[in-house]
Amino acid sequence: MSNYKIHTATELWQKETCLPSIPTFSQNLDHILGNGGVQLGSLTEVLGLPGTGKTQLCLQLCASVQIPKVLSGLNAEALYIDTNTNFTPTRFKEILTASLLKCQKIEPSYLFNEEEALDRLHYINAFGIEKFCACMNRISVFVAEHPRVKLIVIDSITFPFKEGISVQKRTGLLFRQMADLQRIAMEGLVAVVLVNEMSTRLGLSGGAVVGSLGDAWAHRCNKRLLLSNPSELGGSRLALLLKSNNAPNLVAKFQITREGIRDS
């Protein structure tokens, strides 16, 4: 049963530094995330109030994962697990086409077929806790069958757990799923992005509006990105890296255009 491996930090450093990242198409955002985007093998949580651009960011990442090899992209596929009907195919098509056209502009020899590009997104709608758990159980098989999937998005992680489960059971279940997911992410070198909602906890020190799922969950995630759209900035939005194991807590400004996520 000795299935653990012991690595030295030098080995891990070599591995970490040559792992590619999925760019967000906003240099500011890429900069604060610390690795030039969402790094493969990592787990990132995106937080924010409704309408702050969480789903938009996920759609952009699903498009970015397709950047061709000539532009040192991943040329890979994405898996989108939708638990709350957040995904809109027309909007995704818009962002995907815009992103790939941008690639073509930089590298004219790159040709793409819109339909083929759309085929490279795998979509699962997992409504309700039973479907969600079943889907999480199958993820390892799915990733093994689809080795080109390099990004898994769960939008949102909170929604399946809204009702029908006690808080203790929820935490236990989530921690088990996270351990499995992280093992898959690290072994298969897949990036995982989780969308979380915000909730209100009255009387809490350090602000009453916090991410859902409690303090235990906050401890489990090692990269947390908070999005907001303050009205005084007009159309621009802000992203704050709330927590990270290797980058300082910085703020970045970005905007959401018709083409997707861009610098503002």
By CB under 8 A, name the binding residues for another protein.
Answer: 1-10, 12-13, 15-17, 42-43, 166, 168-173, 175-176, 178-180, 182-183, 185-186, 201-205, 214-216, 218-220, 222, 224, 242-243, 245-246, 248-250
Of 35 and 99, nearer to another protein (C-beta) is 35
CB of 30 to another protein, least distance (A): 16
CB of 214 to another protein, least distance (A): 7
Of 59 and 178, nearer to another protein (C-beta) is 178
CA dihedral defined by 224, 230, 234, 238, rounded to 10 degrees? Answer: -20
User: Among 48, 30, 32, which residue's Cα sits nearest to residue 246?
Assistant: 32
Of 79 and 185, nearer to another protein (C-beta) is 185
DSSP readout, 182-246? HHHHHHHT-EEEEEE-EEE-TT-TT-SEEETTHHHHHHH-S-EEEEE--GGGTT-EEEEEEE-SS
User: CB burial class (10 A; 0-12, 13-18, 19+) of residue 41?
Assistant: buried
- Mapped onto helix, strand or coil, the DSSP state of residue 63 is helix
Of 8 and 113, nearer to another protein (C-beta) is 8
CB of 119 to another protein, least distance (A): 31
CB of 70 to another protein, least distance (A): 27
Give the tokens for residue 260: 């997707």
Of 32 and 121, nearer to another protein (C-beta) is 32
Q: Is the dihedral of CA 246, 249, 253, 254 positive or negative?
A: positive
Residue written as tokens 């590009």?
Answer: 117
CB of 6 to another protein, least distance (A): 5
Of 34 and 260, nearer to another protein (C-beta) is 34
CB of 51 to another protein, least distance (A): 25
153 dihedral zone (left: phi>0; alpha: psi -120 to 50; beta):
beta
